[in-house]
Amino acid sequence: MVSFFRRKKPDPSPPASSERRYSAEELAAAFPDARRSETMPASSDPGTTASAPTAPAQLAPFEVSAASPAIPSEIIAAAMDVEPFVSAPAGAELLPAPAAQLQVENATTQDKPAAAPGKPGWRERLRGSGFARSLGGLFSRNPKLDDDLLDEIETALLTADVGVAATTQLLEALRRRMKSREFADAQALLGALRAELLAMLAPVAVPLRIDPEAKPFVLLTVGVNGVGKTTTIGKLARRFKDENRSLMLAAGDTFRAAAVAQLQAWGDRNGVPVIAQGENALGKGGDAASVAFDALQAAKARGTDVLIADTAGRLHTQQGLMAELGKIKRVLVKVDPRAPHEVLMVIDGTTGQNALSQLRQFHAAVGVTGLVVTKLDGTAKGGVVFALAREFGIPIRFAGIGERPEDLRVFDAEAFVDALLPGTLGA
């Protein structure tokens, strides 16, 4: 009787010799990076053969070869401007993407066509901005000329990141003229608002002029993380090459992984030499100041027309990193007392009022002489351009209204205002 109950009692720890057989689906989920094409190992018994699995193993989205070197996905993604691939967690089921979804993903990865030339291109790309939607919707319903209309205009300007100071300046001028009975109707008020906005931007709509006496003309790009400095450099390289200028790039972003590889890809695409230092295993390497020094010496020796120096993105609140920008500028001055001839700060158009503090700190560190406002074709509200113009008066050289190199436009104040505000009521 005792032996009977002992035989029926479950053993919590099975012997080490006991084996559990896993299905192909369980093995595929537990080891997503393993090859699915491998067959089951042959049985130790020579008289038997390995049987095929009952259900075929599902293929992983990407096959990783064991012989290839292990390159971090973050480095590859940064160099190719794509999101890094993340393997599915253990136990997750890998399903093939539907055909419709694959078509949508392939369509989104292709470059969009460049914006139409002239004002139509500006209007097409900026009509989705917060500024154009709020004020355009306000004047599209033929509003009545009264104080309520001015209050609605004030609210629309503030929500579009124009800022308190610039909005107050605009509204005071409009109220003063309305009390003087200068406006016969809302159409006259709309025309006055367009004129006031244009007058605010006209002094800063100054194109970049390359000094032919400077050999090379040194252009130093600065900005916080993720504003698109390296991409802007690539687009500027395309513009200068189309102008038949000899060009050189300096890969001064030695902090971000694969930033050097990304700039070299732009250089290969445009046929422009890139001066860089060796990278470590993480895709970083070199000192930014020494890279700028070597690049300027090489550009002077080759008689290059333009040298564009990239720098690492940094938060304007980090004083130590901001001091490094001053070091780069001092090193350039040792080679050419006039260098850099242009300090171009790249600002993300979606940043909002924080762009004012960024420009204030960068201007104190290196003396910004020109601005590039990017990503205006996305969710940017657009009003920060007016706040920057009023606060600092620094020339806005270029504006990014698309992904193509041709979409980096010379800033046109009239086309910008025309794209944000309708010309007539109800338009």
The model's confidence at residue 323, banded by pLDDT at 50, 70 and 90, is confident
- Residue-wise pLDDT tens digits, 91-134: 333 333 333 333 333 333 345 687 777 788 888 888 877 788 88
DSSP 206: -
Residue 349 annotated in ligand binding: no
- Contacts from 142-148 at CB under 8 Å and sequence distance 24+? 142/186, 142/425, 142/426, 143/186, 143/425, 144/186, 145/178, 145/183, 145/185, 145/186, 145/188, 145/189
Residue 314 annotated in ligand binding: yes
The pTM of the full predicted model, rounded to 2 decimals, is 0.71
Residue 191 annotated in ligand binding: no
Residue 310 annotated in ligand binding: yes
Residue 383 annotated in ligand binding: no
Residue 377 annotated in ligand binding: yes
CATH of domain 119-204: 1.20.120.140
403: which residues sit within 8 A by CB, 6+ positions away? 111, 112
Residue 320 annotated in ligand binding: no
Q: Within 10 Å of residue 239's Cβ, how many Cβ atoms? A: 18
Sheet holding 396-400, edge to edge: 274-275, 247-250, 306-309, 217-222, 342-348, 370-374, 396-400, 408-410
Residue 415 annotated in ligand binding: no
Residue 229 annotated in ligand binding: yes
- Residue-wise pLDDT tens digits, 23-47: 666 555 555 554 444 444 444 344 4
Domain boundaries, the chain: 119-204, 217-411
Residue 11 annotated in ligand binding: no
Residue 304 annotated in ligand binding: no
CA 175 from centroid of its chain's CA atoms: 39
- Residue-wise pLDDT tens digits, 204-259: 999 999 999 999 999 999 999 889 898 999 999 999 999 999 999 999 888 777 78
Residue 223 annotated in ligand binding: yes
Residue 400 annotated in ligand binding: no
Q: Which CATH number fits the domain 217-411, given the four candidates 3.40.1260.10, 3.30.300.130, 3.40.220.10, 3.40.50.300?
A: 3.40.50.300
Residue 94 annotated in ligand binding: no
